[in-house]
Structures are given as C-alpha cells and as structure tokens.
Amino acid sequence: MCCRHCSRARSTARRIAAVFAALQYHGTTKYMVETGQSYIYSAAFLSKRWFDALPADLQSAIMTTAKQVEGEAIPWAFEFLAAQRKAWVEKGAEIINLSAAEKAELMQKMSTVARHRQDKAELKPLWISCSPRPSGEGL
C-alpha cells in the first residue's frame, strides 16, 4: 500500500527480463540487453478520504495487511525475475550485460534526455508529481 499512512517502499524489478520472458519475446528476438537503466514499479493506492472514514479497527487491519503483503511481494518479485531470466535462456535466447564502461556511457547519455525534458515548461507538472517526497507526506 502506498499512502500517507505507510512507507513508500515499492517492490521493483530492475530489469525488463520479467516482461520480455513472460510475454515470450524470445519468439521474435534472440537478444535482450540488460542495462539496469529502467525500473518497473508495482504499487497499490487507496483513497485517503475513504481510509479516514473507516473505523479504527478496519484501518488497523488494512495497514497490517499492507505491511505483510509488502514484505512478501519484494522477495517474490526477485524470485520471479530470476525465473524469467532462466526461462529466457532456456528458450534459446541470450541475455547481454553491458560492461561497466558501456553502462556508464549509457547512463551519461540518458541523463541528458532527462535534463532536456525537465526544461520544457509544459512537462514541469509531470516532473513535480514524480519527484520523491519526504516520508509521511501524502501523494
């Protein structure tokens, strides 16, 4: 759960392998380059107005369940990622990992894209909404 009442921790899959293997892209491409550059986030949200209107015992039950699920989801995500990487290779496809120098070059090039987009006035509300907030601050 992600709301002002709980931590903002989210289970993440650092690589796209989970998506590529699950969707069986190995049928159309043999190679997948893992850059470590992108993230896939899983998050759950609820209405603060709805939550605040609940009796205290239900609020407590929701928060207890959210913390339990969060603790189970992160290990599951990493296990799923490992299984999908294995499946990708078992289907005859290959995973290519960038060298440290190649990864540094990629990150340098990608950082210019973010800076370029951040300067566009029409996108400013989007960048503000995606910026990290201090712990406990609502969305």
| pLDDT reading at 10 higher than 70 | no
3-class SS at 31?
Answer: strand
For 114-126, what is the mean pLDDT? 69
Q: What's the rounded Cα separation, in Å, for the pair 26 and 114?
A: 30
> Token pair for residue 54?
């609940």
Using the structure block, give the residue that is written with the tokens 């490992």. Answer: 82
User: 64 falls in which pLDDT band (50, 70, 90)?
Assistant: very high
> Token pair for residue 39?
């993230």
User: 130 falls in which pLDDT band (50, 70, 90)?
Assistant: low
Q: Return the sign of the alpha-carbon dihedral for residues 26, 30, 36, 38.
A: negative
- For 14-62, write each residue's pLDDT tens digit: 346 777 787 787 788 888 888 776 666 667 788 999 999 999 999 999 9
Helix (H) or strand (E) holding 57: helix 56-90
- For 74-112, write each residue's pLDDT tens digit: 888 889 888 988 988 998 888 888 888 988 888 888 777
